Amino acid sequence: MIRSMYSGISGLKNFQTKLDVIGNNIANVNTYGFKKGRTVFKDLYSQTVAGATGPGDTRGGVNPKQVGLGAQLATIDTMHSPGSTQFTGNTLDLAIEGDGFFIVEDGNDEKLYTRAGNFYLDKDGNIVDGDGRYLSKEGGGSIEVPLEATSLSIGQDGVVKYVLDGILEGEDVVALAKFSNPGGLTKIGGNLYQESANSGVAEDGTGAPLIDGRGAIKSGSLEMSNVDLSEEFTEMIVAQRGFQANTRIITTSDEILQELVNLKR
């Protein structure tokens, strides 16, 4: 009976984690560039009651007899499928069609990565994100637009153009970072990702859009969250029923233990 109770407890913990991930997905359903999480379980180790035996001269083989001891968390995946694109009409709202991440950095030269493309101009004409981090250009450094410039535009190839004194100028290119394993990036909050030991090195895949598998930039649009509410609510029902089923395992095992105790009155 004790084994079944602990199996039920392990199931409760797993479905609680699943509900936590689902709750975070739903909370970020309208977060620009957000990538949903997915919880995957695997079985815990099994106790072998009797091992397998091979066939002999007079008798066939016997399969092993094993009792499973519950479930455990396998992975919490970040799903990097693209979200829908929402038109805003703002030139500095950028969406990536395809693979890649925007690179933002601060004065400490710490490079962070994001799919949220809501950028702005600071008082010096630098393109920055909502927290003041500089949007990186190809080759490194910030992208600066003269304060007197007009008709700012950003092409699919990431080239930033503007009109200054009646002349079309600008040669800075918005840089994108591409990773061999984007699912290995570490979320640090604020729509930002950090490199990890398993994400690959961004420097090997950093450069202009539309080159070496990097996506195109769509100015005047933002990438929405890839959270599907219908899917999340369905998964929530599955998690709720799984949680309830595991509580039944515990209560049923407890009732049987109670009957055993009551044998001696």
| Distance, CA of 3 to CA of 120 (rounded, Å) | 58
Q: Which stretch, 24-33, 202-211, 248-257, has highest mean pLDDT? A: 24-33
CA distance to 35, 130, 159, 208, per residue, from 119 (Å): 19, 7, 15, 18
pLDDT band at 216 (very low <50, low <70, confident <90, very high): very high
Confidence of residue 18 (pLDDT cuts 50, 70, 90): very high
pLDDT digits (tens, 9 = 90+) for 79-117: 999 999 999 999 999 999 999 999 999 877 789 999 999
Q: Quick one: what percent of the chain has pLDDT higher than 90?
A: 76
User: Residue 265: its pLDDT value, please?
Assistant: 67
CB-based contacts of 231, cutoff 8 Å, min separation 6: none
Kindly state the average pLDDT of the residues 195-206. Answer: 84
Decide: helix, strand or coil at residue 143. Answer: coil
What pTM value is reported for the model?
A: 0.87
Q: Give me the residue label for tokens 């003269």.
A: 146
pLDDT at 203 over 80: no
